[in-house]
Amino acid sequence: MKFDTPAGANPIDTMTVVGRPHTRIDGPLKVTGLAPYAYEHHKEVESPAYGYVVGSAIAKGRITNLDTSAAKAAPGVIAVVTAEDAGKLGKGNFNTVKLLGGPEVDHYHQAIAIVVAETFEQARAAAGLLKVDYARAKGRFDLTEGLKTAKLAGGGDSGNEAKEDRVGDFEKAFGEAPVKIDVEYTTPDHSHAMMEPFASMAVWEGDSVKVWTSNQMIAWGHGDLAKTLGMPKEKVRLMSPYVGGGFGGKLFLRTDAVMAALGARAAKRPVKVALARPMMANNATHRPATHQRIRIGATKDGTITAIAHESGSGDQPGGSPEIAAAQTKLLYAGSNRLIAMRLAELDLPEGNAMRAPGEAPGMMALEAAMDEMAEKLGMDPVAFRIKNDTQVDPAKPDRKFSQRQLVRCLETGAEKFGWSKRQAKPGSVRDGKWLVGMGVASAFRNHMNMTSGARVRLGSDGIVTVETDMTDIGTGSYTIIAQTAGEMLGVPAEQVVVKLGDSSFPVSAGSGGQFGAANATAGVYAACVKLREAVAQRLGYNSADVTFKEGKVTSGNRSASLKDAGRGGELVGEDKIEFAGLDKAYQISTFGAHFVEVGVDSYTGVVRVRRMLAVCAAGRIINPVSARSQVIGAMTMGVGSTLMEELAVDKRFGMFVNHDLASYEVPVHADIPHQDVIFLDEADDKANPMKAKGIGELGLCGVGGAVANAIYNATGVRVRDYPITLEKHLEKLPEVA
* Exposed e or buried b per residue across 488-520, where buried means at least 16 C-beta atoms within 10 angstroms of its C-beta: bbbbebebbbbbbbbbebbbbbbbbbbbbbbbb
- Quote the CA–CA distance of 184 and 322 in Å, as a whole number: 16
- Quote the CA–CA distance of 514 and 520 in Å, as a whole number: 11
Residue 697 a catalytic site member: yes
> What stretch of H or E contains 441?
strand 434-446
Distances (CA, A) of 656 to 278, 296, 350, 352: 10, 35, 12, 15
- Quote the CA–CA distance of 486 and 495 in Å, as a whole number: 7
CB 384 within 8 A of CB 370: yes
Which residues touch 239 (CB under 8 Å, ≥6 apart)? 210, 211, 212, 213, 218, 501, 502, 503
SS3 state of residue 249: coil
CB 400 within 8 A of CB 346: no
> What stretch of H or E contains 709?
helix 703-715
Q: What is the rounded (10 degree) CA torsion for 359, 361, 363, 369?
A: -150
Q: Estimate to the nearest angstrom the gap between the alpha carbon of 242 and the chain centroid.
A: 16
Beta sheet of 607-617, edge-to-edge order: 430-431, 434-446, 589-601, 607-617, 675-679
- Quote the CA–CA distance of 477 and 498 in Å, as a whole number: 9
Q: Which of 353, 50, 354, 46 lies closest to 200, judged by CA?
A: 50
- Quote the CA–CA distance of 671 and 337 in Å, as a whole number: 38
SS3 state of residue 54: strand
Q: Which of 350, 367, 645, 697 is catalytic?
A: 697
Phi, psi for residue 189 in degrees, rounded to 5: -65, 140
| Residue 473: other Cβ atoms inside 10 A | 27
| Residue 318: other Cβ atoms inside 10 A | 11
- Quote the CA–CA distance of 123 and 120 in Å, as a whole number: 5
CB 582 within 8 A of CB 528: no
CB 533 within 8 A of CB 573: yes
Alpha helices in 328-400 (DSSP H): 359-377, 381-387
Considering Cα of 141, then 146, then 150, then 154, what sign does the dihedral take?
positive
Q: What is the SS3 assignment for 537-601?
A: HHHCCCHHHCEEECCEEEECCEEEEHHHHHCCCCEEEEEEEEECCHHHHCECEEEEEEEEEEEEE
- Quote the CA–CA distance of 326 and 154 in Å, as a whole number: 9
* Exposed e or buried b per residue across 276-290, where buried means at least 16 C-beta atoms within 10 angstroms of its C-beta: eebbbbbbbbbbbbb
Task: Give catalytic residue positions.
Answer: 697
